[in-house]
Structure 1
Amino acid sequence: MNEKVKEFREYRAAMNEKILAADNKVMKRIFNLDTNTYMEGALSTKVKEMLGLVSSMVLRCDDCIKYHLEKCQEQGVTTDEMMEIFAVANLVGGTIVIPHTRRAIEYWEIINQEA
């Protein structure tokens, strides 16, 4: 497994475990809302993950971008679809999103090489 991917996954899992171990009711509810939001509904899980990725790119959250890239891959998003997702994010977010797009493309290539 690529070191960048491994490091991201391990760090995220460890920190989520610490957050949830604190047994804070509000934090647990936020995590639960997040899980429920991305479940199949009127919109497919695939579409919701693509929306999450665009939102994360516009908000410039690299951790969120990596997470949604992985989820998009799990949902069968193609590279052509991904490039359109990046286009929407850059149109909505402006040129400040370009550095995040560069890192997103790099991560997308890495996780697809490993698949």
Structure 2
Amino acid sequence: MNPKVKEFREYREKMNEKILSKNNLVIKRIYNIDTNTYQEGALSTREKELMGLVASMVLRCDDCVKYHLETCYNIGLNTDQIMEAFSVANLVGGTIVIPHTRRALEYWEALQEE
């Protein structure tokens, strides 16, 4: 497994466990809403994940970008589809998104090394 992918997964899992172990009802509900939002509905999970990826890039949240890239990878999206999502994010977010696109592509390539 690529070290970048391994490090992100382990850290995310460890910290999510710690956060959820504090038994805060609001945080648990937010996590639940997040999970349920990306389920199949009028929009497919693929469409929702691409929207989440673009929004995360525009908001410049690298952890969120990695999360959505992992899901996109796991549900079978390809590099051309990801690059089109990147192009939408750069159009909407402007050139400030370019550094996040670099890191996103680096992480996407790391996922593909698995």
> TM-score normalized by structure 1?
0.97
Q: Given the alignment of the two structures, is residue 55 of structure 1 paired with residue 49 of structure 2, yes or no?
A: no
Q: Report % sequence identity.
A: 72
In structure 2, C-alpha distance between the alignment counterparts of 1:100 and 1:80, rounded to whole Å:
18
Contact 2:70–2:111, Cα closer than 8 Å, also in 1: yes
In structure 1, C-alpha distance between the alignment counterparts of 2:93 and 2:16, rounded to whole Å:
28
Contact 2:57–2:89, Cα closer than 8 Å, also in 1: yes
Amino acid at match of 2:18: K
In structure 2, C-alpha distance between the alignment counterparts of 1:7 and 1:73, rounded to whole Å:
17
- Greater than 3 Å deviation, 4+ residue runs: none
Where do residues 1-115 of structure 1 align in structure 2 (5 Å cutoff)? 1-114=1-114
In structure 2, C-alpha distance between the alignment counterparts of 1:81 and 1:5, rounded to whole Å:
20
> TM-score normalized by structure 2?
0.98
1:68-100 per-residue CA deviation (whole Å, 9 max, x = no partner) reads: 000001111111111100000000000000000
Amino acid at match of 1:108: W
Tell me by how many angstroms 1:22 deviates: 0.3
**Stretches of structure 1 lacking an aligned partner (at least 5 in a row):** none
Residue correspondences, number: 114
Higher relative contact order (CA 8 A, sep 6+): 2
In structure 2, C-alpha distance between the alignment counterparts of 1:4 and 1:74, rounded to whole Å:
16
In structure 2, C-alpha distance between the alignment counterparts of 1:7 and 1:68, rounded to whole Å:
16
Root-mean-square deviation (CA), in Å? 0.5
**Stretches of structure 2 lacking an aligned partner (at least 5 in a row):** none
In structure 2, C-alpha distance between the alignment counterparts of 1:65 and 1:34, rounded to whole Å:
14
In structure 2, C-alpha distance between the alignment counterparts of 1:88 and 1:69, rounded to whole Å:
15
In structure 1, C-alpha distance between the alignment counterparts of 2:108 and 2:96, rounded to whole Å:
19
